Amino acid sequence: MIAVVGYGAMGKLIYEAIDGEKCVVAPECEYKTLNELPYKVDSIIDFSNHNNLDMVLNYAKSHKIPVVIGTTGYSDEELNKIKEASKIVPIMHSSNYSVGINLLNKLLHEITPILKDNYDIEVLEAHHNKKKDAPSGTLLTLLKTLKEETGYEVALDRTTSKPRQKEEIGVSVVRGGTIAGTHEVMYLGDDEEIILTHRASSKKIFVSGALKAHAWLLGKLPGLYTMEDVLND
């Protein structure tokens, strides 16, 4: 039995895609918390809200079951809670379960050290007008990779009277319409541009990736895993 926590756009799609026994936990559904379930579930897939983190982790630790977390917008304190819980149960945590995005992130590790000295680096992300967090969790993951490979500072705000600094990574965020998710990493040089783009046409790619991650996580030892572990395996 799989418990799907959250019944927003992603939660609904995941619930519908699961082949087998399942239940859904959300304020608008029959079960509002995991502790209300009349039976024990074997795993949790959480695409809800960061406010549900304690409930999800406490239930998982108490019953020693694996968790796939797709929720974004966590604070540093909450991320530390996930890390500590992973010492007790296996946890898959990714800001984006698209195979393409994770391959893009892997590519950034390879090409950024080659290009950083002669190209300005700018990143852009665009999502639908109902997305709450900005920048997106996916963009923060890409920025983490870029910072690791360059040591540059991130410029989230372009309100300045000074020209662009050499050792910085510029960020642009767009919110509007029904955009499922677009991420661009731009390497801008003299008379040359290299632009890597990932564009999601629908949320189905995230559902497919999340279910692959869930299947991979079953039977794993306690630890904090990412989609990169799934791809490398």
For position 87, which CATH number holds? Answer: 3.40.50.720
Quick one: pLDDT at residue 63?
A: 96
Helices (H) and strands (E) in the chain, counts: 7, 11
Burial class (CB in 10 A: 0-12, 13-18, 19+), 133: middle
Kindly state whether residues 23 and 60 are assigned to the same domain.
yes
Helix (H) or strand (E) holding 102: helix 99-115
Arithmetic mean of pLDDT, 87-102? 92
**pLDDT tens track for 126-141:** 999 988 888 988 899 9
Q: Which of 12, 61, 81, 131 is catalytic?
A: 131
The CATH number linked to 128 is 3.30.360.10
Is the confidence at residue 87, as pLDDT, over 90?
yes
pTM of the entire structure?
A: 0.77
**pLDDT tens track for 153-197:** 999 887 877 888 889 999 999 999 999 899 999 999 999 999 999
Kindly state whether residues 11 and 87 are assigned to the same domain.
yes
181-189: strand order across its sheet = 153-155, 168-175, 120-127, 181-189, 192-200
Kindly state whether residues 163 and 225 are assigned to the same domain.
no
**Taking phi first (over 0 means left), then psi (-120 to 50 degrees means alpha), and beta for anything else, what does residue 27 get?**
alpha
Is the confidence at residue 221, as pLDDT, over 80?
yes
Kindly state whether residues 167 and 121 are assigned to the same domain.
yes
- Rounded CA separation 143/151 (Å): 11
Report DSSP state, residue 31: B
Identify the band that residue 205 occupies on the pLDDT scale cut at 50, 70 and 90.
confident
Identify the band that residue 85 occupies on the pLDDT scale cut at 50, 70 and 90.
very high
- Domain span holding position 174: 99-200
Which residue type occupies 210?
Answer: A
Quick one: pLDDT at residue 137?
A: 85
Per the structure, the count of domains in the chain is 2
**pLDDT tens track for 21-76:** 999 999 999 999 999 999 999 999 999 999 999 999 999 999 999 999 998 889 99
Cis previous bond, 38, omega within 30: no
Buried b (16+ CB within 10 A) or exposed e, 12-23: bbbbeebeeebb
Q: Is 127 a catalytic residue?
A: yes
Residue 162's contacts (CB-CB under 8 Å, 6 or more residues apart) are none
Q: Is 116 a catalytic residue?
A: no
Quick one: pLDDT at residue 123?
A: 97
Full DSSP string of 134-187: SS-HHHHHHHHHHHHHH-PEEE-----SSPPPTTEEEEEEEE-TT--EEEEEEE
Q: Which of 93, 116, 127, 203 is catalytic?
A: 127
Is the confidence at residue 228, as pLDDT, over 90?
no
Contact 23, 43 (CB under 8 A): no
